[in-house]
Structure 1
Amino acid sequence: MSLDIPAAIEDGLSRLPTRVAAILFVAYLVVGVLSTVASQTVGLAVMERLQAMLDPANAPPGGPGAMSGGASPLALDVGLAVAAVLFLAQIVVAQALGVVTIRTFVSSARREFPDSLSRRFGWVVVNALVAGFVVNVLIFVGGIFLIIPGIYLAVALYFVQFEVIVEDKNVVDALRDGWALTSGRRLHVFLLLLVIFAIGLASAVPAYLLGMVNAPALAVVAVSVVLGAVTGLVVAAIGSRAYVQLKPDGWAPAGEASPFDY
């Protein structure tokens, strides 16, 4: 099937004013806070470790966290090893939430979560993480040679994780079938990604402006987390409904017994 971008946007947005989407929004807020804490903590720990290695005599007294000041208001007072574990843990949690979100928005369910939400959940989360890593590496390698190959790969492989999450495919099959799914429709997928990029860019503006006027760091972080949660939910909903459009007529997600809304 072809990709109708306005219809995907309209369909995706129609999934948001629901109890299910409200629950997901709260989950995105929690994960957003965890992600911010983890990234600020690991960033601060790396900076302190580098300063201690390059100039031990001027290393900040008081151990980890002494350099934070107002730049990293949510950074935890832990060492680099603990910070790295925390960062990896939030990646797994974020991916698990992504599986729940995509399975929900791809399904026909609107007023409750789909029955097949927990199907092979751990296996799917691990494979989705691996698939995302492989796709990002391929895009990075393509971008090293020229920007255009990287963009082309980002477009061609955009739905690889969807294949893992929705169809329970392994990484190899998902790469093959995700590539095939966008074949002949890549211009439309590229335009869809431009829309998604514009949404992400617009959501970053308020926090950027607050930073420009020297607003308190905690306020900047709070605005960034809230808008990031909204953006993540909107993008997931639009992408999920676009994915459904590209599937053959009569297709239903794995494990979904009924094609009707419930």
Structure 2
Amino acid sequence: MAYAQLPRRGAIQTLSQAFGWLASNPILLVLGFVLGLLSGFREMFVLLSLVGMLFGIFVDGVAHVFAENEAFDERTDFGDAASRVGSKYLTLFVMTIVYGVIVVIGFIFLIIPGIYLALRLSLAFPACVIDDKNLTKSLETSWEVAPGNLLKLFGISLLAVIIGFGVGIVGVIGGGESFDVILIGVSVLLTTFLHPAIQLAYARVYLENRPTEDEMETNETGTMPV
């Protein structure tokens, strides 16, 4: 049976629905808040940078599971989501390193190649969690399905940056003498809401374009399925 695919939506609609899913699943806000605390205080405690990265991988994966179930009106159990992410955690960890190295190399050659590679491979993570793909297949799938969605993925990221910048400016202007405290507070707030929302949006883009079982069989065998 082929996978069900979602109707395509633009960047604004995708991110808007992602915020709706986020509001319906407060556990993601809790995870985002914890991640925000780890990120906000990492300059004071260096160890928190590593812990934050490791926890961020988990948060992203859980968000992808929630996105899949929300997209098809299915209930998500956090325990089940955590278990699915846990089973793929090592792959996700290695993929994070590989992804980071590739993107950094792209940025070395100028900003545009770095952005292009970051977007072209961004769907590897939801592919890994949602469809239980290994490292190589996840990267290959993202490389194949992302090209038609690069502007949308860029738009989602840009919208998040604009929202974050706006909130940050308001926070800094109103911070007065408590600049450092306000800065940390804004960082935690943005991470709480924007980080899981972006991952939910990316997962939805993947679900719009995920290969069907027939397409995957064709890619693996090189022949049309009977």
TM exceeding 0.5: yes
Aligned partner letter, 2:151: L
Match of 2:55 in 1: 93
Match of 1:74 in 2: none
Q: Match for 2:180 among 217, 229, 254?
A: 217
Q: TM-score, normalised by structure 2?
A: 0.76
Q: Match for 1:10 among 16, 30, 46?
A: 16
Q: Match for 1:31 among 14, 31, 35?
A: 35
Match of 1:102 in 2: 64
Between structures 1 and 2, the one with greater helix share: 2
Q: Is 1:234 aligned to 2:197, yes or no?
A: yes
Contact 1:27–1:97 (CA<8 Å) still a contact in 2? yes
1:215–1:97 CA distance, 2 compared to 1 (3 A): same
How many residue pairs get aligned? The number is: 206
Distance 1:203 1:162 in 2: 28
Q: How does 1:106-145 map to 2 (within 5 A)?
A: 106-108=68-70, 109=73, 112-113=76-77, 116-145=80-109
Q: How does 1:169-208 map to 2 (within 5 A)?
A: 169-208=133-172
Distance 2:201 2:44 in 1: 29
Q: TM-score, normalised by structure 1?
A: 0.67
Match of 1:245 in 2: 208
Gaps (5+ residues) in structure 2? Answer: 215-226
Distance 1:147 1:38 in 2: 26
Contact 1:157–1:175 (CA<8 Å) still a contact in 2? yes
In the TM superposition, residue 175 of structure 1 has moved relative to its aligned partner by 1.0
Contact 2:167–2:186 (CA<8 Å) still a contact in 1? no
Distance 1:14 1:128 in 2: 26
1:239–1:204 CA distance, 2 compared to 1 (3 A): farther
1:134–1:249 CA distance, 2 compared to 1 (3 A): closer
Distance 2:114 2:199 in 1: 22
RMSD: 2.8
1:152–1:3 CA distance, 2 compared to 1 (3 A): farther
Aligned partner letter, 2:122: Y
Distance 2:174 2:210 in 1: 42
Q: Match for 1:147 among 103, 111, 116?
A: 111
- The percentage of aligned residue pairs carrying the same residue is 24
Distance 2:141 2:76 in 1: 29
